[in-house]
Structures are given as C-alpha cells and as structure tokens.
Structure 1
C-alpha cells in the first residue's frame, strides 16, 4: 500500500504533488510584525504550509557559560546556546495571532515542539500536525508524547543514522501515531549539495515504508527539486523576507520570489515523473510526420527494378519506415514513379 498522510485535509504522498513547507524558524528577528508578514508572504508564494518552532531558551538548553554550552565556528560562533535560543525563539504569546493570521489567509500552520509544554500549547491552538526537528529525533519520549496527540508526525533525520531513524519511527508508532513522515536532512547551516546524497531518499522509502521528503538547507533550489525526482513527497525550506536581515537563520533562507520558484519547480518535477509509459505522447503527435521514411530519389518506370541508389531515408515521414529498405530493394516498380515520392507498399507491389 502506498504510504500517505493527511494534514488539514491535504493528502501527502507519492500520488500527490509535493507538499511544500516554508520554515519561519527564527526569521522573525524579534518582531511579531515580521513574523506575521512572513506568513502573509508565504501564502502568496503558493506553499502548502508555514511552520514555526516552539520553545523557550530554558526548555531547550541551560543558562550556562561552561565551554560545552558555547558555539565555536559557523554562523553562530561565539554565542552560548542559551543566548542563541533567547534571540531566536518564538515568544509563546505570538503563537495565537500567528495561527489566527494563517487561518484567515487559508494557509496551514503547525510547528516543531521542543518539549512537552510546547505540545500542550500547540494542542490548545489546534495544530493539525507536528514536526520533530533533527536535533530532537533522538528524544524518544518527546516523540512518543507528540504521537499521543494522534496528529500526523513529520520527523527530520539530520545527523541520525539508520538505526536511530528506525527507533524514532518505532517511538512514534508506540506513542499512537498512525500517520508518519520522515525527512532526509543534513543539519549543516548552510549544507553543501554534495552532502545530501539524495539516493538515500529512495532507500528510506523502501526501508521505512513511510512518506518521505527532504528538509533542505542548501542555498538554492536545485537539491530540493532533484529530491522530488527521487521520490520526495515533502519539501521543507527556510523562508525569510530578506536574506540580508541579519537574523540567526536569514542567510540560508529563501526570499519570496525564490520560494515561489521552488513551489513551481517542485510541482513541475513531480508532474514530469508521471508513470512508465512508452506510448506516443499528445505533444508528439504533430511531429510524427517529420520522422525519417523512405523516398524515391529518381524517376522509375513501371516494371523497372528498384535499386539501392533509387531510395533514401529522409524526412518527412509519409513513406515506409526505413526498417523496410531491404524488402523494397530488388522489387519491380508496380507503376511509374516520380522522384521525391514517398515509398509505399502499393508502389512496390507488396501488401503491408
């Protein structure tokens, strides 16, 4: 049976066009007005959903200056985990107006919860699904609690090996989740395309039997569109109003025109996949007449033997197919034939 899940009435799986998620993440840059504007712009791009992240700094880390809590290198070099998440987090009082704005616009909204209290908040807001972030894919109690809501679960798998992915899926099933999707992911910010190894997607589809997609942290759309060709049914990408906005995630996020291009490209790639089909396509019908066929290239009298130099394979395609050349050479012309005339069965005295 082909796997599928349904979020807010939208069916997701190989039989349906890709489900595109715009990840708002920390791109609000500390302003509710910016977060609301991102939701509005996401709707205009044609994505299926906007996704938040629901945590507070004290629910995701500890306020410690110890070395193991410091970030060294990369985009967030020099910050402590607590300071980063304090800057990046979505205040909980913003969730209700964001959910209300999304629903007024007719775009699905849900979130990645990072602890049980976040799930409780989102349940009160009627979240239609939950996304487990890659860093939390090893938090099996969190996965089980999210699964206990009965909502569809999407689990990102950055940094997780095959065994850990299997454990996360089992925790989701044990918790009561009936609809589960997994996203192939590389937890680099940004991540180079060559790290993505997109052939993993086809293996995940076979190995786990779940709806499978991609959480993409590359800087353009090529990887995501290619993933659709590999079978990805979900594509998630960070979204911002302005990549130069200076926020924690802005620099590796798509701007509105790029997100609209991603939506178009993914849907085009999916429609191009189609099914195994060797039949002539409708767009080809008018060009059949321009294929090669056999034509007489000299005048031939009735009863004259047709020699090899009297026939050529040329365009257009109104004569016999070139594969019949050997059957025609050596035959006697059934009637007088003018040069530049298509070779037919009748002209050489043969039935089709």
Structure 2
C-alpha cells in the first residue's frame, strides 16, 4: 500500500518536518559536519512526532540565473540574489542523499527531498516514496510530467497560483496515469503574515478538486500553541509540511519561520488530543455515560403523600433525580391511575405502586 493510500485509509495526518538546507547553519553553530547536523535534525524530528523529514536537492546553476533577485524578507535573510543564496547550500549530491535516506530508514522515519532539476528527480527516485513539487515549479509542466511519470504519489504546493494553473498541473499529472495527488495550500511569502495565511483556501481546494488529498505547506511564524497548523488539519489538510530548525533565532534562510522540536511536539500533541476527542461520528449514549443516564436524569416523584386508593393527579407529583424510576416522558401513562399502596412524599413512584389501566 502506498503512503498516499495509507493516509486515506487510516484517516490520519502525515506531518513533514522540512529540514531543507537548515542543517548548514546548525552545523556551523554546533561545530558539526554537514552530515552530522543533518542526521541530528532527523533525530530531533523523529523524536517529536514527524512522519517524514524533507530536504531540498538543487544545484545553484540549475535552479536560478545569476541575475535572479531576492524575493524574501532581507532583514531576515540579507542575501540579495537567489543564485548567491543557493550557492551557499548546494554542496550535497547523490551520495549524501543516499546516506541520509539510509539513515532515515534505519531510524524509521520517511525520507523526502524536493528535487529542482531532472538529474535530482532521477537519483532521488530510488530513495523516497513521494515526490514533492515546490510552488515555484507549478507552471513547470515538463518537469511535473517527468516526476509524475515515475508513478509515485505527487505532493504539489500551490503557492502564488491560480486555479487555472493548478488545474493544468493536475491534468499534467493525471495524463501520465498517476492520480495519487495531494494539493497543498501554500502562501509563497517568507514569512507569511497570519492575516495572509488564508486557511479557508484549503476548503476551497477540496471543493474544486474533490478527488485528491489536501495539504498545507506553512510559512507563518510558529504560534505559541501551533494553532495555525492544527486549524489547517481541522479544515481538511491531511498532509502538513513546515520548515524545521533547531534554533529559530538563527539569521537567514528558513530558520525565522521554521518550527523547532518544541513546536513540533506541541503540534504532535495537538493531533493526538484531537484524535482522542473526536471519537465516533454517530450520536449514541456512551458507556462512560451509563451511570449518569440513571442518576442525573429525573423520575416521577410524589410531591405529597399519596394514599392507597388515591387517584394520581398532576398536582400530586413532581420530577426529581435520580432517573431510576418512571421517566417524566411517561407522565401521561401515570396521571389518572389509582394508587395500589401508599407512596410517601419525595418517594419515587414505581409501576408497582399504581394500578394498570
């Protein structure tokens, strides 16, 4: 069974901690090699509930021209050129990703990496069960087709795109015979302001494309209770992706809007609690309510002493707890009957106390 089908069948969220290239700065801070830092981040993601970790696989010269300007908040990431930024973080190649994939397998977390060129698509194919396509490539239809033809589930981010552009991308995937698609709401702004998160768009994607999984790739700053990610899940996102770091105070790249292990743990705990509290769909009395059904409900009770031979009138009865006697909804079956025996004031009236009609 593919991961895509498992997410559908088990009706659970699939959480992705996007390490991206944040391990470069973690390596520098902690005095580690790049590989050691990447593995440390895998461990921390695994320990705090992520289902998968995701890297970014690119070479600067294949992803951006030397004239590509920055489009991010330069007070957080001062690099003024995309090419210059990517050059800082493109040291890993096939051998390194093979090592990371093997490490993920040994620690039982799913390895993923977003490819940004055809060569990366090819060598990542044997290393991961899902292709994740960046919002930046949603109009790169030849590239999307090339990935879709590999026959693996495709998770497609939809940041900065129109419905028409999303439809073209989806059709490109489907035309290859691949229908395991997850459409991920995303806002392509770093960081995304809370007022721009527009989580309602998840619901809209579900209405327009009802045949596919929904997801959310988040670029907001982590809030104190991780309510943004949690709300995305409640709005229908079964795949949740967020950048991951070990230090949110580090300048540059994706640290400033990433979650850290504590944030990831909060989100994982939120999901566990939601799973626990949502429960059954159909309304019915629960086993834990059995005693309450008896003790907290009302019964028909004698308001005054009712002597043998008296006719039980409305004025002679009231309704009090516990609910182990005759229910008030049987009132019409009690009124007008003759008492077989004396019933003391404040005593529950029983069927044996009154004559049958």
- Name the CA distance, whole Å, in 2 between partners of 1:82 and 1:272: 48
- Name the CA distance, whole Å, in 2 between partners of 1:70 and 1:228: 31
Partner residue, 1:58: 61
Partner residue, 1:159: 160
Per-residue Cα deviation, 1:170-223 (whole angstroms, up to 9, x for no partner): 111223424221112222333244434434333323422111122223323212
Partner residue, 1:130: 131
- 1:305-324 maps to which residues of 2 (within 5 A)? 305-324=311-330
Instruction: Check conservation: 1:229, 1:273, Cα contact below 8 A.
Output: no
Structure 2 unaligned segments of length 5 or more: list them: 28-33
Partner residue, 1:38: 41
- 1:124-203 maps to which residues of 2 (within 5 A)? 125-203=126-204
Instruction: Check conservation: 2:247, 2:260, Cα contact below 8 A.
Output: yes
Displacement of 1:304 in angstroms is 2.3
Partner residue, 2:87: 86
Secondary structure, counterpart of 1:22 in structure 2: strand
Are residues 275 and 59 of structure 1, via their aligned partners in 2, closer, same or farther at CA, if it must alter by over 3 Å?
farther
Are residues 202 and 82 of structure 1, via their aligned partners in 2, closer, same or farther at CA, if it must alter by over 3 Å?
same
Displacement of 1:272 in angstroms is 4.2
- Name the CA distance, whole Å, in 2 between partners of 1:176 and 1:339: 78
Instruction: Check conservation: 1:54, 1:90, Cα contact below 8 A.
Output: no
Partner residue, 1:99: 101
Are residues 265 and 49 of structure 1, via their aligned partners in 2, closer, same or farther at CA, if it must alter by over 3 Å?
same
Partner residue, 1:27: 22
Are residues 337 and 179 of structure 1, via their aligned partners in 2, closer, same or farther at CA, if it must alter by over 3 Å?
same
Partner residue, 2:30: none
Give the TM-score of the pair, scaled to structure 1. 0.86
- Name the CA distance, whole Å, in 2 between partners of 1:348 and 1:156: 72
- Name the CA distance, whole Å, in 2 between partners of 1:19 and 1:349: 64
Q: Alignment RMSD, CA only?
A: 2.6
Give the TM-score of the pair, scaled to structure 2. 0.85
Per-residue Cα deviation, 1:47-102 (whole angstroms, up to 9, x for no partner): 211111111222221112xxx61447463356222222233446225322211211
1:49 aligns with 2:49: no
- Name the CA distance, whole Å, in 2 between partners of 1:237 and 1:70: 21
Structure 1 unaligned segments of length 5 or more: list them: none
